[in-house]
Amino acid sequence: MTRRIRVAIFLPALGLFGVLLAWALVGIPDFGHYRGPYGYLLNRVALPERHMTNVVTSVVFDYRGFDTMGEEFILFAAVLGVVLLLRQGGREQPDELNDSVGSDGVRIGGVLAVGACVLVSLWLIAYGFVTPGGGFQGGAALASSVVLVFLVSSHKAWSGVASDHALDPFDGVGAGGYVVIGLGALIGGLPFLTNVLGPGVPGTLWSGGSAAFVNWSAGMEVAAANLILFTEFIDEYVVPLAAGDTAG
Amino acid sequence: MSVFPYLVAGWICVIGLYGIVTSKHLIHLALCLTVTQSSTYVLLLAVGYVQGGGPPIFKGVKLGTTAVDPVVQSLTLTDIVVSVTVLALILALALDVHDELDTMDPDRIAELQG
Amino acid sequence: MSWMLPLPVVIPLLGAAVNVALDHVTPRWLHTTIALVAVTTGLCFSIIVLVHSMSGETLHWFGGWTPRSGVAIGVGFAVDPLGAGFAVLACALTLAALLYSIPYIEAATRNYDALVIVLCGACCGFALSGDLFNMFVWLELAGVCGYALTGFDIRRMSALQGAVNFAVVNTVGGYFVLIGIALVYARTGALNLAQIGRTLSGQHPSGLLIVAMTLIVCGFLCKAAIVPFHFWLGDAYAVAPAPVCLIFAGIVTDIGLFGVGRVWFTVFDAPFGSHQRFVGDALLWLGIVTALVGGAMALVQQHLKRLLAFSVICHIGIMLVGLGLLSSKGVAGAAMMLLAHGVTTGGLFLAAGLLGVREPVRWTAGLWFCGAIALIGPPYVGVYMGHALIDDAAVELGRHWVQPLIWLAGALAGAAMLRAGAQVFLGLADDYDHGIEEGRDGPVPYLATITTVLVALGTAVSVVPGLAQRVVRGADRFRDRAGYANRVLHGIPMKESAHLPVVLQPTSTESLIYGSAALVFAVALAAFAVRRPDAARTRVFEPVLWPLRQLQTGVIGDYVMWVVVGTAVLGGVWAITLR
Amino acid sequence: MLVASLEPLQYSIFILVAIAATAVVLTRDVQRQIVVNGFYGILLVILFVVFAAPDVALSMLAVSTVGYPLVVLIAIAKGRAK
């Protein structure tokens, strides 16, 4: 089938699809007039019952914590998949790759920046139950800040920070920790993922109860998973480059 | 025009699909997939929006203040973080295809496959 | 005992996490052991859950968030016998696949076991869940595992292309489901299936609901590979390693159909109940077309696993016919067929895998023919009981024309398998490219034993006394929207029901005749194709199938185009008929 | 009340997002596309803030500043290198 035939069949179908979609969308209650009841109920009860000021995080890690466990495992499985695909055939690590950034100023500034970003990320995870943030956002931010190490220093420094030997345990423990906390409640005779330690003190680090631990394990998992992913891609990029250097 | 935000979400979905079908490059295709996915974020958040409502965070705000729906936000935020890994998975497949066939044009790939 | 419900899901997931955490410090045999233990534990618990779900308490609210005055505030598992049975099947087939993989998959392949058991957990979660978004999460998880498992066998280029097509089509399908969920949420403000159904009951069918249903159903049908969403399946299943194909064919494809059934009988039955004929008929026709296309395409394949892939499409189509009849017997027929087909086809994929290990042996040939006959379904063999129940359901609704069409489709796929068996296993033709990667390791007796167990179980499904009656009872519960909502939202237990007999389900004379005729037809067609291959190819197969093959281009743009076309057409048809 | 007075801002950001999404799709050159996509990501972040969803905005920010660009740029570089 040529491209022209494909587009000729596709455009009318897409038009019909769009019309149907629009027909559905105009049936939604007017913008800004959400009718509930789910969200309104949670907004009402989350603070009094769970002592968490950030309702979104309480939904993510407490009310619908089981969904989040599934999402976390999507991350986990996708990373396993990327590793499986990119690490086929046991790629060699380059011995030495002279790609360090020349200026000391850049390096010092970079290290400071990395430190600051890491601190902000940890703060995002820790105070997720109080202010915007939480394990998912903080974990992603943490991984992003560690990638800065690669950008401001050398590949050598990077591979010291992010090797799969160091990261895989975090990945596994983060994902497994979530399940173990859930199972803990189950062994105690309560439903899976029951928040046994809550409610905590509103506005503090411990406002989450045991959901705070869930939050931290999710943060660990998200950060480790993203870092493994970035490591795999960076190696994919750097290693052939290094091989090219030595050959040329 | 108070359904305008939903229609924007619908448009993003449709244009993303258009990009996927007409794409000539697997990386382009993967990014179009993320565009289609972003339509779900826009739609979900628009659905849960309350006019005049603040974020569902009651830190320094009296409980009972009008706030938007927290559920759609929780559904969206995990999905966004996950989307990178799924994108990476598809790109990893695309890279392996490229290693073998030296092309990322879906039409050419099918041709070379026979 | 409701504490057991999460275990078939979380134990495999925990096993995978432990495997990865210990990745660099422990040997491979320990990983395999952990995986096997996790899946076996999941299997045991899912069997207990199945037994209890027949009568007892079957709810689990995660985090202890029970509904308040009919509003669900957490995620819940609500298990009925069909869901629990699906979880049992998922764990059992995964166990078989893992055992087969021990010698079959290279030891160097890291993370393989972990991905397989996460896939198992995801499928169980999908079957047990009572929450729309939670179902979506498990669907995505199963998808992500699936893409990676398809593409990792990198020695063959086509594996990658199959995986890319699989990934893109199913990702688009997933977005459709999510948009549908957003629409439903906008209307009802709920994610719990029972609560959505309750909110929508008595509501007038609106454009929003019609399109939401279209999107959710089409997203699920992408996973189930129903025409015209099916193109990716041939590409993907033909290239995945044999044990992975076993899991795909047995459970991953089927969760799409399961999802369609689940959302219809708990949610959309409420607003569209008075128009259910139109919904059912659309599914019925999609199913018939899928079955015939799958059967016909199977006939012309020269590649063993591709042939099996099209046979999967054929049988998925027949199951959709059963589902589309929307009656208890129809659903039960689909479930019986799912069981028999999943186990048998899985066994056949493993038999195909055996070819790569050693020279073809006669024992394998016997297995292959046994499995092929089980998939045709002569009286009381293999898929027969599923066929017979669907027949009964069709007759009850006055649709006699359904029977010959689906029996014909099954016979076409069966003929293709008989022909391939004669050519590949008995060596009646040399030019048959069976498409199996040679050079696998593994002790043949060990692998053949697993294969034999699966084929034997699949063949014997129809003669298990009392099974069909229990599946029909399960289907009754699967369809009971009001009872489901009462149990989930208000904790009202079900009524005590009469004890079921443990005897063979009687079937109609028509089914007996059709079953026998299908076998005769398949054998005759296969014999013709083997004896006069050129005549068969040039006069019969090629002219009929040329257009179908032209569509199977392998270009991802074409496949996504068909997804949009299918969704738009189905949505248009429902927009006209359901208003 | 503050948000209610931002009606024109809401509409303009919606229009911008729609235009940017279209631009991402229509940019056929992948190197240019990743730049446009970064811009689209930032617009989405702003949109999420307008929707009173700071959590989602943070999520998008973390992902669209490093995640998408890094992964895609390396894929592009890899594609060019061969």
User: What pLDDT, on a 0 to 100 scale, did the predictor assign at position C459?
Assistant: 94
Decide which of C109 and A27 is more confident. A27
pLDDT interval class at A92 (50, 70, 90): very low
Average predicted confidence (pLDDT) for chain A = 82
Chain C closest CA to A104's CA: distance in Å? 36
Rounded CA separation B11/C545 (Å): 38
Q: What are C160-181's pLDDT values in tens digits?
A: 788 888 999 999 999 999 999 9
Residue A132 touches chain D, beta carbons under 8 Å: yes
Strand-pairing partners, residue C240, are none
Condensed to tens digits (0 to 9), the pLDDT of residues B15-60 reads 999 999 999 889 999 999 999 999 999 999 999 888 888 888 888 7
pLDDT at C535: 76
Residues in B closer than 8 angstroms to A26, CB to CB, are 3, 6-7
Q: What is the CATH number of the domain that holds B20?
A: 1.10.287.3510
**What is the pLDDT at residue B43?**
94
The reply to whether omega before C465 is within 30° of 0 (cis) is: no
State the average pLDDT over residues B85-103: 83
Does position C512 have pLDDT exceeding 60, yes or no? yes
Token digits of residue B89: 């998975």
Token pair 């209307």 in the structure block, residue: C187
Residue D41 domain flag? yes
Query: Do D9 and D50 touch, CB atoms closer than 8 A?
Result: yes
Residue D2 lies in a domain: no
Q: What's the number of domains chain B is made of? A: 1
**Cβ-nearest to D25 among B19, B51, B53:** B19
D80 contact B CB<8A: no
Nearest C-alpha neighbor of B107 from the set D79, C556, A5: C556
Residues of D in contact with A132 (CB under 8 A): 54-55, 57-58
Whether the CB of C565 is below 8 Å from some CB of chain B: the reply is no
Neighbouring chains to B with at least 3 Cβ pairs closer than 8 Å = A, C, D
D66 in A contact zone (CB under 8 Å): yes
Upstream peptide bond of C228 is cis (omega within 30 degrees of 0):
yes
Give the distance from CA A63 to its chain's centroid. 19
- Calculate the CA C187 to chain-centre distance: 31
Across C500-510, average pLDDT: 86
Report whether C512 contacts C371 (CB < 8 A): no
Question: Within an 8 Å CB–CB cutoff, is residue D81 touching chain B?
Answer: no
- Residue predicted with more confidence, C134 or C57: C134
Helix (H) or strand (E) holding C61: strand C59-61
* Confidence band of C576 (pLDDT split at 50, 70, 90): very high
pLDDT at site C380: 92
Contacts of C180 (CB under 8 A, 6+ apart): C211, C212, C213, C214, C215, C216, C219
Q: Which residues of A touch B96 (CB under 8 A)?
A: 85-86, 88
Residue whose C-alpha is closest to residue C31's, from C112, C105, C94, C104: C112
Chains interfacing with A (3 or more CB pairs < 8 Å):
B, C, D
Count of A–B CB contacts within 8 Å? 173
Contact C296, C317 (CB under 8 A): no
- 8 A C-beta contact, residue A35 and residue C189: yes
* Backbone angles phi and psi of C76, in degrees to 5: -130, 145
From chain A, the residues in CB contact with C75 under 8 A are 64-67
| Distant-in-sequence, close-in-space partners of D46: CB < 8 Å, separation ≥ 6 | D13, D57
pLDDT above 70 coverage of chain A, percent: 85
- Note whether B29 and B23 are within 8 A (CB): yes
Q: Which structure tokens are listed for D40?
A: 């689209």
Chain-chain contact of B26 with C175 (C-beta, under 8 angstroms): no
* C198 contacts C187 by C-beta, under 8 angstroms: no
Which among D53, D62, D74 has CB closest to A234?
D74
3-state secondary structure chain D: CCCHHHHHHHHHHHHHHHHHHHHHHHCCCHHHHHHHHHHHHHHHHHHHHHCCCHHHHHHHHHHHHHHHHHHHHHHHHHHHHC
Q: Do B68 and A28 touch (CB under 8 A)?
A: no
C373 closest CA partner among C406, C348, C336? C348
- Say if the Cβ atoms of A56 and D55 lie within 8 Å: yes
A213 touches chain D (CB under 8 A): no
Task: Residue window 185-204, chain A: list those with CB within 8 Å of chain B.
Answer: 203
Counting as contact any 3 or more CB pairs under 8 A, the partners of C are A, B
| Cβ <8 Å between B21 and C557 | yes
Q: In this complex, is the C-beta atom of C548 within 8 Å of any C-beta atom belonging to chain A?
A: no
Q: Which two tokens stand for residue C362?
A: 């006669």
pLDDT band at residue C104 using 50, 70 and 90 as cut-offs: confident
The verdict on C20 touching A (C-beta cutoff 8 Å) is yes
**Residue A237: predicted pLDDT:** 73
Q: Is C392 helix (H, G, I), strand (E, B) or coil?
A: helix
Helix (H) or strand (E) segment spanning residue B14: helix B4-22
Q: What is the mean pLDDT of residues A118-140?
A: 88
**Structural domain of residue B68, as residue ranges?**
4-113
> Chain A interface, mutation test: which of C73, C117, C203, most A Cβ atoms within 10 Å?
C73
Rounded to whole angstroms, how far apart are CA atoms A56 and A117? Answer: 23
Taking CB atoms and an 8 Å limit, are C21 and A172 in contact across chains?
yes
- Mark yes or no for CB contact A90/C108 under 8 Å: yes
Contact A66 C134 (CB under 8 A): yes
Residue A72 C-alpha, separation from nearest chain D C-alpha, in angstroms: 14
pLDDT higher than 90, residue A71: yes
**For residues C50 and C85, is the Cβ–Cβ distance under 8 A?**
yes
CB contact under 8 Å between A143 and D59, yes or no, is no
Q: How many domains does chain D have?
A: 1
* Cβ neighbours around C47 below 10 Å, total: 17
Supply the Cα-derived Rg of chain D in whole angstroms: 15
Nearest CA in chain C to B96: C160
* E strand segments, C460-510: none
**Is A85 within 8 Å of B107 when comparing Cβ atoms?**
no
Chain segment A135-181, per-residue pLDDT in tens:
889 999 998 888 877 777 766 666 766 777 788 888 889 999 999 99
Q: Are A19 and C571 in contact (CB under 8 A)?
A: no
- Per-residue pLDDT tens listing for chain D (82 residues): 344 445 788 889 999 999 999 999 999 998 899 999 999 999 999 999 988 899 999 999 988 888 888 888 888 887 765 4
Q: What is the DSSP string of A181-244?
A: HHHHHHHTTS-TT--SS----TTSTTTTTTHHHHHHHHHHHHHHHHHHHHHHHHHHHHHHHHHH
Residues of A in contact with C107 (CB under 8 A): none
Helices and strands (H, E) in chain A, number of each type? 9, 0
What mean pLDDT comes out for the span A213-235?
Answer: 89
User: Which residue do the tokens 């360090």 mark?
Assistant: A100
> Which helix (H) or strand (E) element contains residue C76?
strand C76-78
Q: Give me the residue from A141, A237, A240 closest to D62, CB to CB.
A: A141
Of A3, A37, A83, the CB nearest to C189: A37
- Is the dihedral angle over the CA atoms A219, A222, A226, A227 positive or is it negative? positive
pLDDT value of residue D5: 47
Q: Does ipTM come in above 0.85?
A: yes
What's the pLDDT at C178?
A: 95
Query: What are the φ and ψ backbone dihedral angles of B31, each rounded to 5 degrees?
Result: -70, -35
- For residue C387, the cross-strand partners are none
Among candidate residues B72, B76, D55, the one with its CA nearest the CA of residue A52: D55
For residue D22, being part of any structural domain is answered with yes
Are B90 and C171 inside 8 Å of each other by CB? yes
With contacts defined as CB-CB under 8 Å, which chain D residues touch A244?
A: 81
Residue B100, pLDDT score: 77
Interface test with D, best of A237, A238, A245 (most D CBs within 10 A): A237
Q: What is the pLDDT of residues D41-52, one digit of tens each?
A: 999 999 999 888
Q: From residue C9, how far is each of C14, C142, C255 by CA, in Å?
A: 9, 12, 15
Q: Is C68 helix (H, G, I), strand (E, B) or coil?
A: strand
Strands (E), C428-502: none
pLDDT-based confidence at residue C438 (cuts at 50, 70, 90)? low
Whose CA is closest to C311, among C344, C336, C286?
C344
Rounded CA separation C431/C547 (Å): 24
**Closest to A16 (Cβ–Cβ): which among C108, C110, C572?**
C572
Is residue A215 within 8 angstroms of chain D, CB to CB? Answer: no
Residue C497 has pLDDT above 70, yes or no: yes
Position A89 scores a pLDDT of 45
CA distance linking residue C1 with residue C56, whole number of Å: 9
Domain with D35, as residue range(s), is 7-81
Alpha carbon distance C153, A85 (integer Å): 8
Question: Look-up: residue for tokens 């599914």?
Answer: C283
Size of interface B-D (CB pairs under 8 A): 129
Task: Report the residue of chain B nearest D65, measured CA to CA.
Answer: B84
Q: Chains with 3 or more CB pairs closer than 8 angstroms to D?
A: A, B
Q: Residue C315: what residue type?
A: H
A136 in contact with chain D, both atoms CB, cutoff 8 A: yes
Listed by start position, the domains of chain A span: 36-247
Could you report the per-residue pLDDT of C322-342, keeping only the tens digit for each? 999 999 999 999 999 999 999
**D72 contact residues in B (CB cutoff 8 A):** 27, 30-31, 87, 91
